[in-house]
Amino acid sequence: MNKQIAMTVAGIVGISFLLAGCESKVAEETKVVEEDTSAIQLEGYNLLWHDEFEGDTLNEDIWTREVREVGWTNNELQAYVDSEDNVFVKDGNLILKALDSGDGTYTSGKVNSQNKADFTYGKVVARAKVPEGKGLWPAIWMMPQDEEHYGQWPKCGEIDIMEVLGDNVAKTYSTIHYGEPHAEQQGTYVISNVLKDGTFASDFHDYSVEWEPGEMRFYVDDIEVLTVNDWFTAVQGEDDKPYPAPFDQPFFVQMNLAVGGNWPGDPDENTDFEKAEFAIDYVRVYQKDEYDTNVTKPVKEYRQPNEDGNYINNGDFATELDKVADWTFYKDKGGDGSAEVVDGEVVISTVSEGTEDYAIQMFQADIPQIKGHKYKVSFDMRADENRKAVVCVSAPTAGWVRYLADTEFDVTTEKQSFEFEYEMTEKDDNNGRLEFNLGKRGTSTVYISNVRLEEVQ
């Protein structure tokens, strides 16, 4: 059995290391802080390093204030600056603060532990309180110390312990990114499922990841929200690197408060930058004495189609939507409406069309898609008034690529039959998703029936 012996360091500041046969870097002057850490020990783990953010200055033996220009990534609006106005320690918390520059751009704070506290495998626990406001995007995440080891993002891998969008502070996201092509797996947790009168902005909460060879488990307040054990990395068109690459190399912790960008959107007139503060109470990193690195990638099992060859469940809408989990009706980006089954059709009524195709959407997920296979999507559709719609087969856990491209078609008041064929050219995917997108194209009621997705020769 191949076992990796973990380094155990309690209260070490200024440490950077690499395990399991990788090159090791240790700071020339490792400073050990003598302190009582008994209250923060975890059974089965050794405390590797931690920062409780006591005192009144940032511990620069662990953290670096990262400097980045506006628009460096994701079309974000903030510049990360080396300023105590944006990154400071106060009242036992690290504060990352976003400030409005008054010209449509912003400054904000980001810190990372790269080349100071890198580690391979362990448990990270961070306690934090997020700010509320449209366009604010706090995150606690991890990136590899050497991004070139497997190649630039996403080949290098990324571990997102926590992300929250400021316009929905009751929901957190935990995600891993990898590939190429870019793939991701994501779990979410909605606080209102447990607490009826609280959000992640109203109090501090614990966010953590247990990172082991071949598996990662993400938690919010000790509630497991995501477990992943199947990933890959490769140069597109080449064979995969040996599993569990890319998550078998040293990573570092970073935390930031972004403003705007592709995902959260821009701030609006209600975003209060006086309160735009991401507060972190502590960061604690633990390791076990050893890790078994003799892991193999799980073998995927692909479900077979139904007896009639159809991969779509309830494609004839013989069962009401509230009694089956196969179909999901989704609203977003200003879309509003409803869906119900009537006489073998799903009737989608739109009140507000929203601003994106997916603002009004009906989809079915978990559809196997095998590279080199050919498929056909077919269905019947009509509408109360002539309008347009879009159909596609997407990849929600593989970078949202399209196996069947977004295809716009005309819907009339007479029922029509539609067929679209495509060949799967990407990696095998157990989570293809058939989507009917009705947003941004009017509010006429749509009727869908006889939905099929099947292999063709």
Rounded Cα distance, 204 and 206, in Å:
7
Reduced to 3 states (helix: H, G, I; strand: E, B; else coil), residue 387 is strand
Half-sphere exposure (Cβ direction) of 177: Cα atoms closer than 13 Å = 17
| R_g over Cα of the chain | 24
Range 52-60 contact pairs with CB under 8 angstroms and sequence separation of 24 or more? 52/92, 52/281, 52/282, 53/89, 53/92, 53/93, 53/94, 53/280, 53/281, 53/282, 54/89, 54/92, 55/89, 56/89, 56/90, 57/89, 58/87, 58/88, 58/89, 58/94, 58/111, 59/13
Q: Alpha carbon 283 to chain centroid distance?
A: 20
**Which stretches of 43-188 are DSSP H helices?**
none
- Which amino acid appears at position 139 of this protein? A
Q: Encoding tokens for residue 89?
A: 């320690």
Q: Encoding tokens for residue 13?
A: 């500041």
Provide the phi-psi class of 221: left if phi over 0, else alpha when psi is between -120 and 50, else beta.
left
DSSP state string for 228-280:
E-------TTSPPPSTTTTSSS-EEEEEEEEES-TTT----TT--GGG-EEEE
Catalytic residues: 158, 163
- State the burial class of residue 230 (Cβ atoms within 10 Å of its Cβ: 0-12, 13-18, 19+): middle
Cβ 121 vs Cβ 257: under 8 Å: no
Half-sphere exposure (Cβ direction) of 281: Cα atoms closer than 13 Å = 11
CA geometry: angle 289, 293, 295, nearest 5 deg: 140
